Copies of this chain bind each other. A is one copy, B any other.
Amino acid sequence: MTAARERFAAEGYERATIRAIAGDAGIDPALVIRYYGNKEGLFAAAAEFDLRIPDAAGLPRARAGVALVDHFITRWEVDGSLPALLRAAVTNKAAAARMREVFAGQVAPAIAALCADRRTVPIRAGLIGSQLLGLALCRYILELPPVVGMSREAVLANVGPVIQNYLDALV
Contact = CB atoms under 8 A, between A and B. Distances in A.
Contacts of A162: 131, 162, 165
Number of copies: 2
Contacts of A13: 91
Contact of A130 (B137, B165, B166): B137
A29 interface: no
A15 B12 CA distance: 12
Chain A binding surface, main DSSP class: helix
Interface string A132-171: 1111011101111111001000100011011001100101
Contacts of A90: 12, 86-87, 90-91, 137, 141
A138 B130 contact: yes
A48 interface: no
B89 A91 contact: no
B91 A142 contact: no
A144 B91 contact: no
A171 B158 contact: yes
